Structure 1
Amino acid sequence: MAIPKGFLFDFDGVVVNSKESHNSAWASAFKELFNTEIAPFPKSLSGKSPMIIAEYFCNVIGKKEQTEDLYYLKDEHLDKYFTVPVLLPGIREITKFLSQEKIPYGIASNATKQFLKNSIYHLDLNFDVVFGLQDYVKPKPAPEAYISLAKALNFKEEDFKDIWVFEDSLTGTNAARLAGMQPIGITTAYTERELKEVGSILTFPTVLEAYQYLTK
């Protein structure tokens, strides 16, 4: 098998398990703003932009007009009460391999830039090119995130079909597909069947198995 020309990574659910970091920030911000407990986090919001998530939680209690307040407060809490997410298997192995082979790679996430930078710093990860929510006009499921990252890595549009995109969410998989790239499903949030239904060409439990597949 020919090695793809480039590798793009989502962050939450692919590089790290950050559910606890995000969920606790949503819960504490919601409690501070509304003095009540937040609703359970629905799976359907996985990978969506924080503004859409904020709107959902505000709608639950009939406070849609305070969506932006919750969005900004959650971002504050995520930074102020930062907890280091859990590194998922295979990330150190694959980034070392890609660096040795001089294959371009980077991160494009719907998470905020500060959270990505904090996490990468504390986990000592080898990612130099990182795109977060503030870098896009239209976040995932629009393809802008992955197109912007690919261009920053000096890829041309004709290269896109030879780029792998590691994604765990339906939102992000759709973004990769719309960008004309090859979505590779990581089954931390959705099943193999669910990810393949929206365009994943291959699926793996974690990036470790993808790394082993590439290097066997």
Structure 2
Amino acid sequence: MLLPKGFLFDFDGVVVDSKESHNSAWSSAFKELFDTEIAPFPKSLSGKSPMLISEYFCSLIGKKNQTEDLYFLKDQHLDSHFKVPILLPGIHEITNFLSEEKIPYGIASNATKQFLKNSIHHLNLNFSIVFGLQDYVKPKPAPEAYISLANALNFKEEDFDNIWVFEDSLTGTNAARLAGMMPIGITTNYSTEELKEVGSVLTFPTVLEAYQYLKTYKN
């Protein structure tokens, strides 16, 4: 059987475990801005844009009017107090495999571009085409992120249904589905049942198992 024509990757929860990186930046920015501790991070915000996350935390303390202040300060803390995220299994293996097979791939994330660049540099990752929050008018769950990345990889719309999209969040899975692509769930944040309910065609614990499946699929 033929391999898919392309592979698109979300970043947080798929390529890296970045919870500590983001949570630390949210916490320190919130403390600096409001001189109080931030609330626990709910799973329902996983994969959502930083502006929506900022709005959520500000609303909890009646400071919704300072949503943008927290958003920009968190971005500054994420950069100035940068914590290298933890690389998840299978990323080097699958990018080497795709390069050997000459299959285009890239990243489209709701994370900021600077965080993506910093992480890719520090982890020595082989991703040359990377889209971040600043590249979209409408971030995920809108399909723009994945459509923009697919276009940058020179895919036509008729190719979209043969492109795999690795996603760990319901937000991103919806974006891939709305783009007309094949969402592939990574169960770092949500269960197989939860991801399949919103459109995941297959699920794997990490990208490593997906890579192993693809090698068998190819043979």
After TM superposition, the score normalised by the length of structure 2 is 0.98
Aligned counterparts, 1:157-168, within 5 A: 157-168=157-168
Gaps of 5+ in 1: none
- Work out the CA distance in 1 between the residues paired with 2:2 and 2:83: 39
- Work out the CA distance in 1 between the residues paired with 2:57 and 2:118: 25
Deviations 1:21-64 (A, max 9, x none): 00000000000000000011010000000000000000000000
- Work out the CA distance in 2 between the residues paired with 1:83 and 1:53: 19
SS of alignment partner, residue 3 of structure 1: coil
Name the % identity.
84
Deviations 1:179-199 (A, max 9, x none): 000000000000000000000
Give the letter for the 2:98 counterpart: L
Deviations 1:50-101 (A, max 9, x none): 0000000000000000000000000000000001000000000000000011
SS of alignment partner, residue 149 of structure 1: helix
Q: Aligned pair count? A: 216
1:8 to partner: Cα distance? 0.0
- Work out the CA distance in 2 between the residues paired with 1:2 and 1:22: 38
Q: Cα RMSD (Å) of the superposition? A: 0.3
Alignment correspondent of 2:5: 5
- Work out the CA distance in 1 between the residues paired with 2:17 and 2:79: 17
- Work out the CA distance in 2 between the residues paired with 1:45 and 1:2: 36
Deviations 1:128-185 (A, max 9, x none): 0000000000000000000000000000000000000000000000000000000000
Alignment correspondent of 1:134: 134
Alignment correspondent of 2:34: 34
- Work out the CA distance in 2 between the residues paired with 1:201 and 1:101: 23
Gaps of 5+ in 2: none
1:2 to partner: Cα distance? 2.0
Alignment correspondent of 1:147: 147
- Work out the CA distance in 2 between the residues paired with 1:29 and 1:120: 23
Deviations 1:98-120 (A, max 9, x none): 00110000000000000000000
| Structure 1 consecutive aligned stretches of length 4 or more whose deviation exceeds 3 Å | none
Alignment correspondent of 2:116: 116
1:4 to partner: Cα distance? 0.2
SS of alignment partner, residue 29 of structure 1: helix
Alignment correspondent of 2:169: 169
1:211 to partner: Cα distance? 0.3
SS of alignment partner, residue 38 of structure 1: coil
Alignment correspondent of 2:106: 106
- Work out the CA distance in 2 between the residues paired with 1:86 and 1:58: 28
SS of alignment partner, residue 146 of structure 1: helix
